[in-house]
Amino acid sequence: MSPLLLFGGAVAILAVVLLMIAVPPRLIRGVAVSFTVVAASFGLANFAPDSVRPPVAMATIGVLVLALVRSRAVASGGVRFWAVTVWWGFISLSVLLTASYGTNRVVLYFGLATLAAYVASSLDRAELRMVYATIAGLAAVQVGLAFVEILVLPEPIWGYTGMIRYNPFTNDIYARAQGTFGHPIIFAVYIGIAMIVAWSNPARWSQTWRLVNLTVATVGLALSGTRSAVAAVAVGLLVHVALNRSLMTWLRSAIGVGAVVIVLLNIDIGIGTIVANLLDSGSWTHRLGALESVRALLGRPPMEAWFGNGFGSEAILYDRGLMQQTFLRAVDNMLVYALGTTGIVGLSVLLAVWTVAFCFADRTIKAVLAMLFAMFFSFDLFTWMNAGVITSLMITLPRADKPVPGIVAQVHDVPALRAV
């Protein structure tokens, strides 16, 4: 690593520490979680260089720890946090017993994801609004970067390079956008989260800002060229509509969604062609192959079938012919990935964690979880560090309708904060 890069990294970390010290304790956790979202999107992609990803992960861990120390948070945790902890704890145990994953990656990935979830679980109303504003603002930044990537840059910032992955939504004229997430699907998943946040509006934005955020997210999904993400976002939005307790609001939302569907089905925007191309594509057959691998995975020796070979051991499964033998050695199905690498027990833990998290979340997070679960069938989400960290903290965000009380012990020391 060059001395200049090391110096730049040290200066950046010092600047972040100074900034965190300057932030009032009342808002420190919200700033830390917002920083985590930004750091995950810009520096934790699997394809980010080794000179970027580990330092960013360590800096983010430091920021989260500093936030906990300065906030003296007393309300962290909760059922959804413990559900997340069970998942990462089980995965860590499987790695410890099988040595299927590097120790540094366990600390910098699994540890960061758990810590981010813990801090996120204690946000109060003002901090929660800050995090949701960060999600929306970052989506706009990423969409802007996507335009630059597609129209100006010869290669993506990092991710799939050396080849053009054409966008079916643009009739294969432009490449699929990746932003700084390192993959068009991860980019689309994040934009999908931003769309659901804008739709459900837990931060109580004005209708103008909601419309702006929804427009930005729609453009982002189109730039990603990810058909499965569009379907998954639709699932999330429908779940959000279905959970509406007000009959009239539910009817208005249902009529609105139905009207959009009817319009799309009756105008020629190429949906039929896109669907036909999807069914004829290698992507579709590859993902069907993952489902067809389930029988072989269940037919392994008992201990392996129940517990797998450890998270990150998919290469062994491919070498033994237990996973789909197509053009790509990637499972692209989180449920099948969990079954293959962590066995029946691992898959059961994942499903139990998702069920518990869904049951105890508010409508916004329920919709996000529904969208992410739909993506499980086309992408192995937790094999990507940036996606795993963002997903973990999203799961534990406090209910917008019943936010966690903020820390008030220090408010009397700063008169201006009493008005917050």
Q: Report the share of the chain in percent with pLDDT over 70.
A: 79
Report CA 51 to chain centroid distance, whole Å: 23
Which residue in the block uniquely carries the two structure tokens 């058909």? 227
CA gap 220, 317 in Å, rounded: 35
Two tokens, residue 239: 């779940």
Question: Which pTM was predicted?
Answer: 0.86
Cα Rg of the chain, angstroms: 22
Per-residue pLDDT of the chain (420 residues; tens, 9 = 90+): 456 556 656 666 676 777 777 888 888 999 999 999 999 999 999 988 888 899 899 989 989 998 988 886 556 778 999 999 999 999 999 999 998 888 888 889 999 999 999 999 989 889 999 999 999 999 999 999 999 999 998 888 887 776 677 888 888 788 899 999 999 999 999 999 999 999 999 999 999 999 999 999 999 999 998 888 998 999 999 899 888 776 666 666 667 666 655 655 554 444 454 444 544 455 656 566 678 888 999 999 999 999 999 999 998 998 888 887 666 778 889 999 999 999 999 999 999 999 999 999 999 999 999 999 999 998 999 999 999 999 999 999 998 766 444 433 333 343 433 333
Please name which of 126, 130, 157 lies closest in space to residue 142, comparing C-alpha atoms: 157
pLDDT the model gives residue 275: 47
Q: pLDDT tens for residues 212-242?
A: 999 999 999 999 988 889 989 999 998 998 8
CA gap 131, 398 in Å, rounded: 11
pLDDT the model gives residue 75: 66
Two tokens, residue 224: 């990603």
Which residue in the block uniquely carries the two structure tokens 């534990």? 396
Query: At a CB cut-off of 8 Å and minimum separation 6, what does 268 contact?
Result: none
Measure the CA dihedral 275/279/280/284, to 10°: 130
Query: At a CB cut-off of 8 Å and minimum separation 6, what does 340 contact?
Result: 293, 297, 308, 314, 317, 322, 323, 331
Where does residue 174 fall: left (phi above 0), alpha (psi -120 to 50 degrees), or beta otherwise? beta
Please name which of 346, 349, 350, 351 lies closest in space to residue 306, comparing C-alpha atoms: 346
Three-state secondary structure string covering the chain? CCHHHHHHHHHHHHHHHHHHHHCCHHHHHHHHHHHHHHHHHHHCCCCCCCCCHHHHHHHHHHHHHHHHHHHCCCCCCCHHHHHHHHHHHHHHHHHHHHCCCCHHHHHHHHHHHHHHHHHHCCCCHHHHHHHHHHHHHHHHHHHHHHHHHHHCCCCCCCCCCCCCCECHHHCCCCECCCCCCCCHHHHHHHHHHHHHHHHHCCCCCCHHHHHHHHHHHHHHHHHHCCHHHHHHHHHHHHHHHHCCCCHHHHHHHHHHHHHHHHHHHHCCCCHHHHHHHHHHCHHHHHHHHHHHCHHHHHCCCHHHHHHCCCCCCHHHHHHCCCCCCCCCCCCCCHHHHHHHHHHHHHHHHHHHHHHHHHHCCCHHHHHHHHHHHHHHCCCCHHHCHHHHHHHHHHHHCCCCCCCCCCCCCCHHHCHHHHHC
**168 neighbors 69 (Cβ within 8 angstroms):** no
**386 neighbors 53 (Cβ within 8 angstroms):** no
Which residue in the block uniquely carries the two structure tokens 């769309």? 195
pLDDT the model gives residue 140: 97
Q: pLDDT tens for residues 144-199?
A: 999 999 999 888 888 777 667 788 888 878 889 999 999 999 999 999 999 999 99
**56 neighbors 44 (Cβ within 8 angstroms):** yes
